[in-house]
C-alpha cells in the first residue's frame, strides 16, 4: 500500500532523528511491500525563520492532506534563542498548539516503559521499580487551561493575568472512552486523575468518567487526586496501567512518569483525533545543545513511527517488527550516549554508537 506521511523535522535534533525514522520506515516498506511518500512540513523555529510565523495555513493544509504526520522536535533554548523574544503566539510552541487544535488531536498517548536492558538508568531503587514498568498516560490534548481564553490587563493600576480552564462533557467523554479502550488492550486498569476536591472542571471530569466507566465493566477503575498521583508515581509506579487525565495534569505527570523510566530518549507519543489520522513525536525535546552533532538518540522517533504504523495505518505486524528490532539492538549492546552505562556500572558487551549507526543497526534487524 501507499501512505502519505507529512514530516515535521523541526528544530534542534529534529532533522537528525527524523531522517533515521524515515530510513527505518523505508526498510519496512521494502520488506512488507509498502510505499511511504514524505512531504516536508515547516513548523516551529525553522518556520519562524522562513515565514515569520511558527505554522502557516499552507503547513496546516499539508498536514491535513497527509495520512499521518511524523514529527521530530521544535523549539530551542528558551534563554538564548531569539525565538523567545517574540510575542507568545509567534514562538515555536504556539505552532504545535495550533496544529493540535486545527487537527482536533484530542487524545495524547504517552507510553512510559522501562527497557530491562536500560534498567540501570532508572533513578528509582531496583526493589521499587522491579524489572518491569509499563504504563500509558492518556492525556486530553485540546481542552483545559492550555486552550482557554486568557488575558492580561491593568485593574486599578495593578497588572492582572487570567487563564481559564473549561471542559465540556463531550470533551471529557471522548477522551475517557479512548482511555478505557486502550486499557482493554492492556492490563485493564484505569486511574482517572483530577483535583475534584477543589475544581468544578474536575468534578465534571469525575462524573463523566464514572458514566463512561460503566460501559467497560471488564476494566477496573479508580479516581486519584493529582497531588497524590505525583507522589504515587515515585513511591509505587508499578501500580499504574492507564492514567487518564486532563491536559495540564497530563503534561506534568507524563514528564514525571517518563523520567521514572530513566530514558526519555526511548519514549514515543501519539496524538490522535476521531479519524485514523495522528501526529507522532518523541516525548523528549529538541536538545539544542547537541543539535547537529549526529549523536542524538533516534529511538524515540523510530518508535513513534512504529506507533504511526499501528494506530494510523493498521500495520500491526510492521509496527511489531520495528519494536522487536529496537529490543534486539539494545540486547546486542548498542547505545547512544544518553543511554550509555554510567561510570561504575557494568559495560561489558556495550558499544557506543551515533545517531546514524543506531538507525542502521535497527534497520538491519527488521
Ligand X SMILES: CC(C)[C@H](C(=O)O)[C@@H](O)C(=O)O
Smallest gap from Cβ 77 to its own copies, in A, equals 12
CB 242 within 8 A of CB 138: yes
User: Does residue 218 have an active-site annotation?
Assistant: no
Beta strand ranges found along 174-305 (DSSP E)? 189-194, 220-225, 242-245, 268-272, 278-282
Active-site annotation holder among 167, 251, 334, 360: 251
Query: How far is 67 from 80, CA to CA, in rounded Å?
Result: 36
**Joined grid coordinates for residue 196:** 475534584
User: Does residue 251 have an active-site annotation?
Assistant: yes
Smallest gap from Cβ 259 to its own copies, in A, equals 4
User: Does residue 67 have an active-site annotation?
Assistant: no
| Touching its own copies, residues 36-95 (CB under 8 A) | 78, 88, 91, 93
Q: Which of 86, 252, 290, 356 binds its own copies (CB under 8 A)?
A: 252
Residue 199 binds its own copies (CB under 8 A): yes
Q: What is the largest CA-CA distance in the chain?
A: 68
Q: How many residues form the binding site for its own copies (CB under 8 A)?
A: 66
Query: How far is 176 from 171, CA to CA, in rounded Å?
Result: 9
Cα torsion angle, 167, 223, 203, 228, sign = negative
User: Does residue 84 have an active-site annotation?
Assistant: no
SS3 at position 89: helix
Confirm or deny that 295 is annotated as ligand binding.
yes
CA 52 to chain CA centroid, nearest Å: 26
CB burial string 50-79: b at 16+ within 10 A, e below: eeebbbbeebbebbeebbbbbbbbbbbeee
Active-site annotation holder among 113, 115, 146, 280: 146
Confirm or deny that 285 is annotated as ligand binding.
yes
Using CB under 6 A, list all residues that contact ligand X. 93, 96-97, 197-198, 227, 251
State which residue has the least CB distance to ligand X. Answer: 93
Using the minimum distance from each CB to ligand X, give the nearer residue, 69 or 96: 96
Residue 293 binds which of its own copies, ligand X, none (CB < 5-8 A, kind-dependent)? none
Q: Report the C-alpha dihedral over residues 224, 229, 97, 170, rounded to 10 degrees.
A: -10
Smallest gap from Cβ 327 to ligand X, in A, equals 26
Residue 16 binds which of its own copies, ligand X, none (CB < 5-8 A, kind-dependent)? none
Residue 287 binds its own copies (CB under 8 A): no
Using the minimum distance from each CB to ligand X, give the nearer residue, 11 or 67: 11
Residue 145 binds which of its own copies, ligand X, none (CB < 5-8 A, kind-dependent)? its own copies
CB 165 within 8 A of CB 189: no
Using the minimum distance from each CB to ligand X, give the nearer residue, 126 or 198: 198
Rg for the chain, CA atoms, rounded = 20
Confirm or deny that 251 is annotated as ligand binding.
yes
User: Does residue 216 have an active-site annotation?
Assistant: no
Q: What angle do CA 168, 170, 174 make, to 5 degrees?
A: 130
Query: How far is 211 from 111, CA to CA, in rounded Å?
Result: 25
Residue 258 binds its own copies (CB under 8 A): yes
DSSP letter (8 states) at residue 325: H
SS3 at position 178: helix
Using the minimum distance from each CB to ligand X, give the nearer residue, 102 or 350: 102
Residue 146 binds its own copies (CB under 8 A): yes
Residue 112 binds its own copies (CB under 8 A): no
Question: What values do phi and psi take at 36, rounded to 5?
Answer: -105, 120
Query: How far is 116 from 11, CA to CA, in rounded Å?
Result: 31
Residue 159 binds which of its own copies, ligand X, none (CB < 5-8 A, kind-dependent)? its own copies
Active-site annotation holder among 115, 195, 216, 334: 195
Q: Which residues are catalytic?
A: 146, 195, 227, 251, 255
Chain residues in the site for its own copies (CB under 8 A): 78, 88, 91, 93, 97, 122-128, 145-146, 148, 150-152, 155, 158-170, 195, 197-201, 203-205, 208, 223, 225-228, 230-235, 248-249, 251-256, 258-260, 264, 342
Q: Which residues are annotated as a binding site for NAD(+)?
A: 285-297
Q: Which residues are annotated as a binding site?
A: 100, 110, 139, 227, 251, 255, 285-297
Q: Which residues are annotated as a binding site for substrate?
A: 100, 110, 139, 227
Amino acid at each position: 500500500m501507499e501512505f502519505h506521511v507529512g514530516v515535521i523535522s523541526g528544530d534542534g535534533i529534529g532533522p537528525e532523528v527524523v531522517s533515521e525514522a524515515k530510513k527505518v520506515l523505508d526498510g519496512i516498506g521494502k520488506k512488507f511491500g509498502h510505499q511511504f511518500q514524505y512531504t516536508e512540513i515547516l513548523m516551529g523555529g525553522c518556520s519562524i525563520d522562513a515565514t515569520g510565523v511558527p505554522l502557516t495555513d499552507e503547513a496546516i493544509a499539508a498536514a491535513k492532506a497527509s495520512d499521518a504526520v511524523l514529527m521530530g522536535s521544535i523549539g530551542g533554548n528558551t534563554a538564548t534563542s531569539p525565538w523567545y523574544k517574540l510575542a507568545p503566539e509567534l514562538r515555536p510552541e504556539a505552532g504545535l498548539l495550533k496544529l493540535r487544535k486545527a487537527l482536533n488531536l484530542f487524545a495524547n498517548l504517552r507510553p512510559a516503559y522501562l527497557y530491562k536492558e536500560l534498567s540501570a538508568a532508572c533513578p528509582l531503587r531496583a526493589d521499587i521499580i522491579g524489572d518491569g514498568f509499563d504504563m500509558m498516560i492518556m492525556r486530553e490534548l485540546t481542552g483545559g487551561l492550555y486552550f482557554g481564553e486568557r488575558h492580561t490587563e491593568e485593574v486599578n493600576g495593578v497588572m492582572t493575568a487570567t487563564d481559564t480552564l473549561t471542559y465540556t462533557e463531550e470533551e471529557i467523554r471522548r477522551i475517557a472512552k479512548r482511555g478505557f479502550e486502550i486499557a482493554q488492550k492492556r492490563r485493564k486498569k484505569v486511574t482517572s486523575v483530577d483535583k475534584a476536591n477543589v475544581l468544578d472542571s474536575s468534578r465534571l471530569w469525575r462524573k463523566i468518567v464514572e458514566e463512561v466507566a460503566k460501559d467497560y465493566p471488564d476494566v477496573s477503575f479508580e479516581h486519584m487526586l493529582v497531588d497524590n498521583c505525583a507522589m504515587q508515581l515515585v513511591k509505587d509506579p508499578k501500580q499504574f496501567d492507564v492514567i487518564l487525565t486532563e491536559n495540564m495534569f497530563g503534561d506534568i505527570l507524563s514528564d514525571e512518569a517518563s523520567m521514572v523510566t530513566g530514558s526519555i530518549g526511548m519514549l514515543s507519543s501519539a496524538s490522535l483525533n476521531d479519524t485514523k489520522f495522528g501526529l507522532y513525536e518523541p516525548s523528549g525535546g529538541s536538545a539544542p545543545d547537541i543539535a547537529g552533532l549526529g549523536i542524538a538518540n533516534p529511538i524515540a522517533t523510530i518508535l513513534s513511527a512504529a506507533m504511526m504504523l499501528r494506530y494510523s495505518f493498521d500495520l500491526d505486524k510492521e509496527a511489531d517488527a520495528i519494536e522487536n528490532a529496537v529490543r534486539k539492538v539494545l540486547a546486542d549492546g548498542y547505545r547512544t550516549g544518553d543511554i550509555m552505562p554510567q561510570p561504575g556500572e557494568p559495560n561489558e558487551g556495550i558499544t557506543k554508537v551515533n545517531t546514524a549507526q543506531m538507525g542502521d543497526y535497527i534497520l538491519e534487524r527488521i
